[in-house]
Structure 1
Amino acid sequence: MATGTSASESRRTRDAEATQRAILDAAIDAFARSGYDGASTRDIARDAGIDPRLITRYFGSKEALFERAVEETYRHPLMMVPGNNRAVAAALLGDAPMEQAKGLLLTIRSAGSERAVEIMRDHLERHYQRDLADALTGPDPGTRAALLIAVCTGVQMQRNVLGNRALRTSDSDLIVDRLAAALDLIGASDAPAPEGGRST
């Protein structure tokens, strides 16, 4: 009897995990397509093939679901590796993995929502900028970390969302070299501090 109960509980756990995954995948697609304000929980539930009440059960709210979608699509471990800038440049100039591409679209199409912008900014600052600043040596690490992230996201957006022809058709090794040099300059420990003083 205990074995049967254990098997039943295991099956329910797997079903719950699959349902949460289906909801999150549908939410990422919806936010990338329509933005935070344009995507409704009813539409997300329909796309996931579930009862809308399950979104509340597993995620609590649309806002919390958006936070999870941001966490899922903003992952970019290469951005957290100071000193490996040629690898970072090569990754940025390659075809973006699907989840990263959706993250860029989610960002663009949710930018009109004040709350969505707060969530995205907070996630970047807490999970990328702060850790990257801690890993950098030399003056003004906070600003340099923010600049590195801005360059990385800007290149990805220009190449993979806007389809900038120069970034897609020029000699790839040359572009990688130049982008890596720019990242090296920003991240260098001997980068000069601004005259106004040091920020953290």
Structure 2
Amino acid sequence: MTETKQHASGAEARRRDSAATKRALLAAAREVFTRQGYDNAGLRDIAQRAGTDKRLIGRYFGSKENLFAEVVAEAYEKMLLSAPEATHATAVALLSGAEPDNPDGLLLTLRSASSERAAEIMRDSIERTCEAALADALIGPDAVGRAALLLSICAGVHLQRNILHSRSLTNADNTDRLVPYLKAALDAIAATPAAAPAGDSVDQSPQSD
């Protein structure tokens, strides 16, 4: 093997090792952040779980905040969205317990929400990705606000059913009966709002004597 080929082979091996190390750190960080929350998670613990040196976190991510931001982006990547044409499928998935590939996203959120900085990172991630994507799929006014409402409903049902294990929502006999109610709630927000009749407006201008 020539010197040039040896150098290229060595560089490729280092890139593969770097990618593998970064993936291991992300996986370990996700586990630790989900279990302990942002404030209680230690970089040494994360590095030990990844089987690597703590200093590599600084090399690959720069800081604990940046590492958490990447974990959050990955955890929220497949968040269940309720686009207008998919409200029935969303209702079925939520009530049947069919979760995305990353069901720990809500636990990560709950256990880190008490940290002001972590909450800011999570809020920014949701607004830039999930909320923005859903708002783009909505027609009519207040799309961003309606998108936030849809995400809140989905997160609430997920919390009640899969984290708190509500007996009413985990009872298999209830699933088919409850789907139409949840779909109707999602439809009420996802559907294009009808224009309010002129007579329904309330004149709140000051009245003269």
Tell me the distance in 2 between the aligned counterparts of 1:156 and 1:58.
33
Greater C-alpha radius of gyration: 2
Residue 114 (structure 2) pairs with residue 112 (structure 1): yes
1:50-92, Cα deviation, whole Å (9 max, x unpaired): 0000000001100000001100111236516331111122222
Residue number among 14, 17, 21 corresponding to 1:15 in the alignment: 17
Contact 1:82 1:132 in 2 (8 A): no
The alpha-carbon deviation at position 174 of structure 1 amounts to: 2.2
Aligned partner of 1:38 in structure 2 is 40
Tell me the distance in 1 between the aligned counterparts of 2:193 and 2:100.
33
Unpaired runs of at least 5, structure 2: 203-209
Q: TM-score normalized by structure 2? A: 0.86
Aligned partner of 2:78 in structure 1 is 76
The alpha-carbon deviation at position 14 of structure 1 amounts to: 1.1
1:22-57, Cα deviation, whole Å (9 max, x unpaired): 100000000110000000101100111100000000
Tell me the distance in 2 between the aligned counterparts of 1:181 and 1:51.
51
Q: Secondary structure at the match of 2:84?
A: coil
Tell me the distance in 1 between the aligned counterparts of 2:90 and 2:151.
11
Q: What is the correspondence of 1:145-156 to structure 2 with a 5 Å cutoff? A: 145-156=147-158
Tell me the distance in 2 between the aligned counterparts of 1:35 and 1:6.
41
Q: Secondary structure at the match of 2:126?
A: helix
Aligned partner of 2:62 in structure 1 is 60
**Equivalent residue letter for 1:33:** R
Unpaired runs of at least 5, structure 1: none
Contact 1:138 1:191 in 2 (8 A): no
**Equivalent residue letter for 2:192:** S
Contact 1:139 1:191 in 2 (8 A): no
Contact 2:83 2:190 in 1 (8 A): no
Contact 2:79 2:100 in 1 (8 A): no
The alpha-carbon deviation at position 117 of structure 1 amounts to: 0.4
Q: What is the correspondence of 1:48-197 to structure 2 with a 5 Å cutoff? A: 48-76=50-78, 78-79=80-81, 81-93=83-95, 94-97=97-100, 99=102, 101-169=103-171, 170-191=173-194
**Equivalent residue letter for 2:166:** N
**Equivalent residue letter for 1:79:** L
1:83-116, Cα deviation, whole Å (9 max, x unpaired): 11111222223242452x2211111111110000
Q: Secondary structure at the match of 1:137?
A: coil
Tell me the distance in 1 between the aligned counterparts of 2:194 and 2:111.
35
Tell me the distance in 1 between the aligned counterparts of 2:88 and 2:17.
42
Q: Secondary structure at the match of 2:114?
A: coil
Q: Matched residue pairs, number? A: 195
Shift in CA distance, 139/195, structure 1 to aligned 2, threshold 3 Å: farther
Alpha-carbon RMSD across the aligned residues, in angstroms, is 2.0
Contact 1:129 1:142 in 2 (8 A): yes
**Equivalent residue letter for 2:78:** H
